[in-house]
């Protein structure tokens, strides 16, 4: 990498602190360590925002679906949490750093990128467990924080890939391999020289 290609990445907090994750998403420290080691080796600066679920509901929260977080109070909380990280992104970009991508978390109702159809409990509210079968016509939404982040980046005309960290996948899985291919493409391909 060229020293002129100064890079940063924006990531969900649980990618460097797996204790923030609700228990069903797993606390995969080896995968987090692999991610952070890779970013440090490639000299990519890390910007993270505080976990919106932890800061709103604490560590002992119950797993929930996107539906439960999709309310005006939680959305406002997410916007507030993004204020400082977005100022940092703008400052780095102003000083010729390249935002390479955003990395969220697979199956997170807040920081996931592809939230598809999920099981519904006896109270008819969405569970955090994906449905066994999905219909191609089912809507695929981003998690609440990922959706708001996308809106905030669009306001600044910043376009970057949104990737999902496969916390529950095995190292030899297709999901795991695709994540690393996409991350390396976002981080290692040189930006065009202005």
pLDDT band at 1 (very low <50, low <70, confident <90, very high): very low
**Spatial distance between the Cα atoms of 184 and 39, rounded to a whole number of angstroms:** 10
pLDDT at 194 over 50: no
Q: Which range of residues forms the domain containing residue 78?
A: 6-188
Closest to 38 in 3D by CA, of 14, 54, 63, 16: 16
Helix ranges, 58-191 (H): 66-69, 72-94, 144-155, 174-188
Q: Give, for 39, the enclosing helix (H) or strand (E).
A: helix 29-41
pLDDT for the residue 77: 98
Percent of the residues in the chain that have a pLDDT greater than 70, as a whole number:
90
The total of structural domains in the chain comes to 1
The verdict on residue 88 lying in a domain is yes
The verdict on residue 194 lying in a domain is no
**Residue 8 · residue 46 · CB < 8 Å:** yes
The tokens for 143 are: 């998690």
Residue located via tokens 């493409």: 185
pLDDT band at 37 (very low <50, low <70, confident <90, very high): very high
Beta bridge partners of 47: 10
Q: What share of the chain is helix, strand, coil (3-state, %, to 5)?
A: 40, 20, 40
Per-residue pLDDT tens digits for 121-173: 777 777 777 777 766 666 678 899 999 999 999 999 999 999 999 888 888 89
pLDDT for the residue 25: 63
| pTM, to two decimals | 0.88
The verdict on residue 36 lying in a domain is yes
**Given phi > 0 = left and psi -120 to 50 = alpha, else beta, which region is 43?**
left
The verdict on residue 193 lying in a domain is no
Q: Give, for 90, the enclosing helix (H) or strand (E).
A: helix 72-94
Least confident piece of the model among 14-18, 97-101, 122-126, 148-152:
122-126
**Residue 119 · residue 131 · CB < 8 Å:** yes
């Amino acid at each position: 990498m060229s020293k002129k290609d100064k890079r940063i990445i924006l990531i969900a907090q649980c990618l460097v602190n797996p204790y923030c994750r609700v228990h069903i998403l797993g606390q995969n420290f080896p995968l987090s360590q692999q991610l952070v080691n890779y970013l440090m080796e490639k000299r990519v600066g890390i910007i993270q925002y505080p976990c919106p679920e932890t800061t709103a509901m604490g560590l002992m929260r119950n797993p929930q679906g996107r539906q439960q977080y999709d309310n005006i109070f939680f959305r406002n909380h997410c916007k507030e949490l993004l204020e400082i990280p977005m100022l940092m992104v703008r400052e780095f970009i102003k000083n010729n750093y390249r935002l390479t991508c955003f990395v969220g978390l697979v199956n997170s109702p807040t920081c996931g990128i592809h939230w598809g159809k999920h099981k519904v409990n006896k109270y008819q509210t969405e569970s955090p467990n994906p449905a066994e079968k999905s219909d191609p016509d089912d809507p695929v939404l981003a998690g609440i924080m990922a959706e708001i982040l996308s809106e905030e980046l669009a306001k600044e005309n910043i376009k970057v890939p949104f990737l999902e960290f496969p916390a529950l996948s095995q190292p030899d899985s297709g999901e795991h391999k695709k994540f690393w291919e996409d991350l390396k493409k976002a981080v290692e391909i040189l930006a065009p020289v202005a």
